Structure 1
Amino acid sequence: MSIHSVKRSQNHLAWDNSIPPVLRVKSGEEIEFDCLDASNGQINPDSDSSTLAQLVFTQLDQVCGPVFVEGAEPGDVLQVEVLNIETAEWGWTALIPGFGLLSDEYPESTLKIWSINREVGYAWFDEEKKIKIPIKPFAGEMGVARKEDGAFSTIPPYNTGGNIDTRHVTVGSTLYLPIEVPGALFSMGDGHAAQGDGGKIYHCRTAIETPIKVKVRLTVLKDEKKSRYVKTPHFNTTITGNPHAQHSNSTEDFYCTTGVGPDLRQCARDAVRSMIDYLEAEVGLNRVQAYMLCSVAGDLRLHEVVDMPNYVVGMMMPKSIFA
């Protein structure tokens, strides 16, 4: 099977269906993406807090691509299997004035440069205090072009993906995206070495930002049943230490639906409604049964709440209950 590659220089700063693809692949082929960090290379291992005052914000959150997938048509679903992610040996976290959930309380610029120990899989937050962060890398940005003409910022998430900032879409996970334009025009970027749950509730709006190299497999699904309920990003993932398992170190597979939009309550309603659609289509429950199951077994989580104007709320259902 052919393995293709997308370079760091092959990037763009808006979701726009008029951007010509940098690569054409067949459905089921693998692509390696080499992505800069979210600062687009403006921050490096030698940077300090003074660098933040010089950031060109219009250059942030670039994505690499787009990739045209042959056979992809509006109404299909793009399956994105995350096969491998490699971070750089460094990363950064910043307090940037005007950004983050508590931005009004933290007006000063602060930059932390991390050393990432990829061999042992953690980074020290404070070695003297013995605080270390497990490395669980993922790409914050994965999406396809929107059907609407024009340029749409890469900062907020959309129904077609983009800046969903969901830490559970990591190696071994599978993301499903609704296709709105011929070829899908898939792009990705915004590497993170680690991030707290709740996504960019981000206390300070940045995770451990880092350049990443990612290998994904892109497959077009022409499944009418799946197309009916995948109207926003959905994903399969495995989580260790979940509340539904008998032992804290047990692993659990989840299917997650999402709600995306400018109203947080409506996003939550949409995520639950989408899970009901999934349970009706794939498990054979009626809508009353599915709604009750969401209430007793589903986890409703905030994935992204600072990249305005849109939020991402996820409804995660443990698959073990169907055994």
Structure 2
Amino acid sequence: MSIHFVKRSQCHLAWDNSISPVIHISSGETVTFDCLDASNGQITASSDITSLASLASLVFSQLDQVNGPVHISGAQPGDTLRVDVLGIETADWGWTALIPGFGLLADEFPEPALKVWKLVRKVDGKDVCGNGEYGYGWFDEKKGIKIPLKPFAGEMGVAPGKAGAHSTIPPYATGGNIDTRHLTAGSTLYLPIEAEGALFSIGDGHAAQGDGEVCGTAIETPMKVSVRLTVLKDKPYVKTPHFTAHNPHAGTEQFYCTTGVDADIRDATRAAVRNMIAFLKAEHGLSAVEAYMLCSVAGDLRMHEVVDMPNYVIGMMLPKSIFTQAS
């Protein structure tokens, strides 16, 4: 099987099915991407809080670039792309900022602010922080505030079927800036394919983030990420991003998650539940009534992404452990 690699320079700034693929692969093959941070290199490890010129002079049209696109042989509209996240390596630094006009409370925090992090990562496979995590960063060492690193790619998506250029800043039904912190190494993302070849792209490395990313930035960092891309023909119910992942609050517990993506937060929430009902009907043979009740007694709704307008990403999460027989 071929080894595929996408370089930092092989990136684009819009979701657009007319963009030529940087590589062509077969279904089931693995690709490693080398990605700059979401500032596209405009903020560096040497940027500091005493010089906010790096924020004031940000070229917004260059933000949130994604690497790709990758054409997967046999992918057709109506199929599903399975994205297995195999491994993620962050840089040894990252940044968090308040960017005027961005974030849930942008009107209350109009002044720019910047924090550059030193990231302590696993070294030669050794657990440097002593708790099984990837690594850590000090938010404030004097005050004892230490952040465990759980890296993931904020942007993962395929080209939309609709012609034209679509901004990489908001999330869409085809993925994009979904900023979902549960998509760490070992997780699997399912995306609805709308364009021939799928045209998958990835970027926006995050070393850590809370659900919602309320100020508009996480610990932004360059990253190398490896994914396996597989075309599936048997999951027509996947209409928005779905995934399986480890539950960050329950050790080794895994969960299913369906999402709703919409400009109205209530409609996004309703869509997340509807999509879980469709999943449970297809994968576990439940009736719609049974699935709806199961969502109410065992499912958790989460705000995955609430700041990249115009769309919200709401997730319905269901623990896999409640299913005691294989589907």
Q: Which TM-score band (shorter chain)?
A: over 0.9
> Which residue in the other structure is 1:27 paired with?
27
Q: What TM-score, normalized by structure 1, do the two folds share?
A: 0.95
> Which residue in the other structure is 2:246 paired with?
238
Q: How far has the Cα of 1:220 moved from its partner?
A: 0.4
Q: Deviations over 1:6-63 (max 9, x none)?
A: 0000000000000000000000000000000000000001113221001000000000
- 2:269 and 2:150 mapped to 1: Cα distance? 26
> Which residue in the other structure is 1:161 paired with?
175
Is 1:218 equivalent to 2:218 in the alignment? no
Unaligned residue ranges in structure 2 (runs of 5+): 123-127, 129-134
Alignment length (residue pairs) = 310
> Which residue in the other structure is 1:246 paired with?
none
- 2:264 and 2:111 mapped to 1: Cα distance? 29
- Structure 2 residue matching 1:251: 3-state secondary structure: coil
Residue pairs, 1:286-305, within 5 angstroms: 286-305=287-306
Percent of pairs with identical residues: 72
Q: Which moved more, 1:96-105 or 1:110-119?
A: 96-105
- Structure 1 residue matching 2:197: 3-state secondary structure: coil
Residue pairs, 1:233-312, within 5 angstroms: 233-242=241-250, 250-312=251-313
Q: What TM-score, normalized by structure 2, do the two folds share?
A: 0.94
Q: How far has the Cα of 1:104 moved from its partner?
A: 1.3
Residue pairs, 1:135-174, within 5 angstroms: 135-174=149-188
> Which residue in the other structure is 1:245 paired with?
none
- Structure 2 residue matching 1:205: 3-state secondary structure: coil
- Structure 2 residue matching 1:129: 3-state secondary structure: coil
> Which residue in the other structure is 2:125 paired with?
none
Q: Which moved more, 1:313-322 or 1:102-111?
A: 102-111
Q: How far has the Cα of 1:64 moved from its partner?
A: 0.2
- Structure 2 residue matching 1:105: 3-state secondary structure: coil
- 1:154 and 1:292 mapped to 2: Cα distance? 36
Partner letter of residue 32 of structure 1? T
Q: How far has the Cα of 1:97 moved from its partner?
A: 1.3
- 2:101 and 2:69 mapped to 1: Cα distance? 30
Q: Deviations over 1:283-307 (max 9, x none)?
A: 1111111100000000100011111
- 2:202 and 2:170 mapped to 1: Cα distance? 14
Residue pairs, 1:163-202, within 5 angstroms: 163-197=177-211, 199-200=212-213, 202=214
- 1:125 and 1:50 mapped to 2: Cα distance? 22
Q: How far has the Cα of 1:251 moved from its partner?
A: 2.1
- 1:72 and 1:102 mapped to 2: Cα distance? 41
Partner letter of residue 207 of structure 1? A
| Contact persistence 2:30–2:227 (CA under 8 A) | yes
| Contact persistence 2:117–2:137 (CA under 8 A) | yes
Q: How far has the Cα of 1:240 moved from its partner?
A: 3.9
- 2:18 and 2:94 mapped to 1: Cα distance? 33
Partner letter of residue 254 of structure 1? F
| Contact persistence 2:157–2:202 (CA under 8 A) | yes
